[in-house]
Amino acid sequence: MSVPREFRAYVANELGCLPGEISCLTADRAGTMGSFLSKKGVTSGSTYTSIALAEDATVTGRNDTILVTPESHAWRGDANATATALTWDKSNTHIIGLSPTSKAGYNRARFSHSGYTMANFMTVSGDDNCFKNIRFMHGSSTGGASDITCVTVSGTGNRFEKVAFAGPNNATQAASANYLGVVVSGSHNYFKDCMFGSVNDVDRSAANCVLNFATTTGGWNIFENCVFRSRSGGGQATAYFINDKTTDTVVDYTAIFLNCQFIHAGTKLTVGIAKATNTSRSLYFDNRCTFVGVTDIIADARNAEVLWGAGGSSPDGSALNDKLYLGIGQTPIHTT
């Protein structure tokens, strides 16, 4: 296996550590990007056209890295099969997209599943892996309501940076109350500069979410500088950004949100967060976080389980107080 020295320098800069073996994922070895890789000196043994085969070639624990070309890649799961989740159970193995990206969610190094159902792209059960500069395009007319989960994170200490979790992208999928978006059940995972939600004009028309904390979720999952996108029409107000189902009674913060923006367009959502009754577990938002297009942050009965960075305050029963002191966007009122 061989890649140019400049590729190794790029990976070391993106990871912040020394890389192990490096391979490249391209949609077509004979296509534009495949030919480019060959001309740059990437050997055939370092080039793959299947994410499943590329992942299978990595060795756990040594910072092996897959570079993804800025193309649309058909997702392949375990046993290199379509319509199958990929189990990422290795540690210190990484994916980096070869594309400049932003929180706008239009990453060109992207994975799709046109023509087949994708109930879950990937389950990250390993630890200390990095996924960067890529987009998951979740939802198709074939899968519809069966396209439930974008990515599941059950491992510990994984890092997602400049990743677009783009979904739901199909109207039938968006109309299902079973849609979960990204499911987190692990602990100490880190999401930075990521986008959650569809970049398409798709209305969520059911009580679903774009971020789900499973009943067994650990603590200290951190979201920094992320954008959560949502839209609904036709008077639909029961969708929400986050569904925290955690029932674990170990006293902790399930998640910490730093400078995250929750932006909903269309009919205002009744609440931005749904949360299971659990006084042992809280969600923390620093005072740079903002919810837009919601009537309230969380139902009054769960107010004490959400802590806000403005003096450690919590939402309360007064929508006016929440607008004045917490991060609920509103129309400016100009007085003369």
pLDDT digits 0-9 by tens, 164-185: 999 999 999 999 999 999 999 9
3 state SS of 303 = helix
Please state whether the peptide bond connecting residue 4 to the residue before it is cis, i.e. omega within 30 degrees of 0.
no
Task: Name residues of the chain where pLDDT drops below 70.
Answer: 1, 310-313, 317, 319-321, 323-325, 329-336
Confidence (pLDDT) at 315 = 77
How many whole angstroms separate alpha carbon 170 and alpha carbon 120? Answer: 15
301 burial (CB, 10 Å; 0-12 / 13-18 / 19+) is exposed
Q: Report the pLDDT value the prediction gives residue 330, as an integer from 0 to 100.
A: 64
Closest listed residue to residue 192, CA positions, set 133, 240, 150, 245: 133
pLDDT value at residue 309: 84
CATH of domain 113-336: 2.160.20
Q: How many CB atoms within 10 Å of residue 253? A: 15
Give ranges for CATH 2.160.20 in the chain: 113-336
Sequence-separated (6 or more) residues with CB below 8 Å from residue 120: 85, 148, 149, 150, 151, 152
In 10 A of CB 268, how many CB atoms? 13
Alpha helices in the chain (DSSP H): 5-15, 32-40, 51-57, 171-174, 319-325
Looking at residue 308, its pLDDT comes to: 87
